[in-house]
Amino acid sequence: MEPVREPAVAGYFYPRDPDELRSKVEGFLKEAKLLVSDGPPIALLAPHAGYVYSGPVAGWSYRQVMGEKFETVVVLSPSHRFGFKGVSVWPKGGYRTPLGTVPVDEEVSAELMRMTALIRDIPQAHENEHALEVQIPFLQVALQPGWKLVPLVMGSQDLETAKELSSALKEALGGKRHLVVASSDLSHFHSAQRAEEMDRRALTFMEGVDPEGLWREVSRGSVEACGVGPVLTVLCMVREIGVKKGKLLKYNHSGDVSGDRTRVVGYGAMSWGDSMETGKKQEERVGVDLGLSREDKDLLKEIAKESIETALHGLPPPSAPEGLSPKLKEPRGAFVTLQKGHKLRGCIGFIQATKPLHETVKEMARAAAFDDPRFPPLTKEEWPQVDIEISVLTPLERIEDVSKIKVGVHGIYIVKGARRGLLLPQVAVEYGWDRETFLEQTCLKAGLPPDAWKDPKTEIYVFSADVF
């Protein structure tokens, strides 16, 4: 039987009971926001203290990959309890938590050891190490099943080790769809004010993808990161493939939880890069810009989220927030789309601009969650895995000439007799349809033959949308 690394800190750093652990992680994910909009990140920074302290921040990291599917996940950890040189991999078998056993990617692990003597099989480095273990329950809850783990504990955390490890990982991972997690807390046991100053400086180097700058400041003692080796490795990796900037997702420290601001530990969540689908640049923006600010869009997402959450708890819809911008008070049609693991879980909207935008979104969010006849009502158990997309519509325009339809800009609404069907602009892009296929699919959505769009009695309308 292949070796399985048993949990060492269950019941100490995180709950031992599987149901309690899953509920705790789901709660952290639910409280975080999705801030990465161009596809899942290539790499993450996540803290590794006890969940009561750092769990809420780690939730922001893993929220960015929730529902994603990866072949291989590399978790890079510092070594807290066993001193050694180089890097240790657990090369075979699996890593167990109360949520089950994650298989090790034995192929990648063997390739890493073949490529460099820096990486060795040193079981003692893994036996009692918490910094790697505490990341795995988040991955088990957030990701789609099927991924394999490459667990790496760094005994040496200098820049040269990080560069060599980064180079080996880049080659060994090859074309695999992968995620790399750097497990690291920030400053330790300074006053809250001093910790915040040091940590913001450290995070600036991480945002700027500057491993040399971070290592220089760590060497001087002006900033701290107990997992600086994993962070340096990630920075070298993402810089090599052209990533120029990281995204700070969340920062706090232990004093925000305990209330003791005299001696705190800092925690940061960060992401780097975008989708690993092909390494290509993202497609051009779908739809149009209707002048909604970033704050407007974030508030609409919050309105949709609160509308669904209150319904899940049997409460009436929330009242309108104060300080709404004029844009959110304009009458607008809108659709709310719910996705679970990149699969549709509900989509309902108003086509006509009959109500203020914020009210439309509030009502359509509940309708998408509970009234879409294609799906059963959303449950509390599913809710943490659901993403919300909002499409704010432009007015309908009837057309006679279908050559005016621009894929990626227009949605289509088709009416013939009592039959009608609508597809949003993003649908054609997601499926790679051309104009004619888009028309055919809209006809099918209306319950019509695919060539019904050619019938003079068929009314064809176009519209666009601001999609976010």
Whether residue 302 is found in the same domain as residue 264: no
Assign residue 22 the CATH number of its domain. Answer: 3.40.830.10
81 and 171, same domain (yes or no): yes
179 and 39 housed in the same domain:
yes
Joined tokens for residue 29:
């994910």
Q: What is the amino acid identity at position 290?
A: L
Domain check: are 448 and 312 in the same one? yes
Q: Give me the pLDDT at residue 37, please.
A: 61
**Residues of the chain whose pLDDT is less than 70?**
1, 36-38, 274-285
* 117 and 61 together in one domain: yes
The answer to whether 202 touches 184, Cβ cutoff 8 Å, is no
Same domain, 235 and 366: no
In the prediction, which pLDDT does 277 show?
A: 37
Is residue 279 domain-resident?
A: no
Do 264 and 334 fall into the same domain? no
The answer to whether residue 44 is domain-embedded is: yes
Structure token pair of residue 255: 């004093």
Residue 11 lies in a domain: yes
- Give the pLDDT of residue 318: 87
| pLDDT of res. 280 | 37
The domain boundary, picked from 242, 272, 302, lies at 272
Q: Determine, yes or no, domain membership for 42.
A: yes
Strands 72-78 and 178-183: parallel
Of 272, 303, 328, the residue at which a domain comes to its end is 272
Residues of the domain holding 79: 4-272
Regarding whether 304 and 171 lie in a shared domain, the answer is no
pLDDT for the residue numbered 281? 37
Read off φ and ψ for residue 65, nearest 5 degrees: -120, 10
d(CA 35, CA 50): 24
How many domains is the chain built from? 2
Contacts of residue 455, Cβ cutoff 8 Å, sequence gap at least 6: 416
Instruction: Please write down the HEC assignment for all residues of the chain.
Output: CCCEECCCCECCCECCCHHHHHHHHHHHHHHCCCCCCCCCCCEEEECCCCHHHHHHHHHHHHHCCCCCCCCEEEEEEECCCCCCCCEEECCCCEEEECCEEEEECHHHHHHHHHHCCCEECCCHHHHCCHHHHCCHHHHHHHCCCCCEEEEEEECCCCHHHHHHHHHHHHHHHCCCCEEEEEECCCCEEECHHHHHHHHHHHHHHHHCCCHHHHHHHHHHCCCCCCCHHHHHHHHHHHHHCCCCCEEEEEEEECHHHHCCCCCEEEEEEEEECCCCCCCCCCCCCCECCCCCCHHHHHHHHHHHHHHHHHHHCCCCCCCCCCCCCHHHHCECCEEEEEEECCEEEEEEEECCCCCEHHHHHHHHHHHHHHCCCCCCCCCCCCHHHEEEEEEEECCCEEECCHHHCCCCCCEEEEEECCEEEEECHHHHHHHCCCHHHHHHHHHHHCCCCCCHHHCCCCEEEEECEEEC
**Which pLDDT belongs to residue 150?**
98
Compute φ and ψ for 252, nearest 5 degrees: -155, -175
CATH number at residue 449: 3.30.1490.150
Residues 356, 463 share a domain: yes
Same domain, 47 and 156: yes
Contact in structure between 119 and 146 (CB atoms under 8 Å): no
Give yes or no: residues 338 and 415 share one domain: yes
Confidence (pTM): 0.62
Same domain, 305 and 445: yes
